[in-house]
Amino acid sequence: MKLVFYPDKILKEKCAEVKTFDDALEGVVLEMLNIMHKNNGAGLAAPQVGVKKRIIVVDIDGRPFVLINPRIVKKEGREAMEEGCLSFPNLFLKVKRSKKIKVAAQNTKGEKREFDAEKVFAQVLQHEIDHLDGILFVDRLGIIERHKIKRRLRKTNKK
């Protein structure tokens, strides 16, 4: 497994639900955690390493979370915060997201759980869950700003 960078097509594809909870899933999760930590990321979604499954890993303040088939079931408030993305090296943008969310997910054993998240944790979760639906953080910008950023990225990627 290795990081996938924009404009790779997999980043815009919707991921399939995980139905099998086995040692292979555990292996994918461990590799994702290693890649995220090695690249100093706060989160990583499976399509960012070429896997089209609904898996994310997040690490805020040294507390790693693994979420299988995550979905946001409730949102509250709005706030703009700066974000980066491992698939867009050296690009940081202010993105408006919900301040507080409730997430439903499964762990690597398939056990269901729900929890609340706010501030940076909520922002990272929303960013990574977006990846599972083929939504990139640049897609959350206004149309003019999004067009400028994507044009700049295309020029950079041609070099």
Extract the tokens encoding 152.
């700049």
H or E segment to which residue 95 belongs: strand 88-97
Q: Is 82 a residue of the active site? A: no
Q: What is the DSSP annotation of 108-144? A: TT--EEEEEEEHHHHHHHHHHHHHHTT--GGGGS-HH
Residue among 17, 31, 128, 145 flagged as catalytic = 128
CA-to-CA separations, 52 to 14, 47, 97, 126, 154, in angstroms, rounded: 7, 5, 24, 18, 24
Which residues have a catalytic role annotated? 128
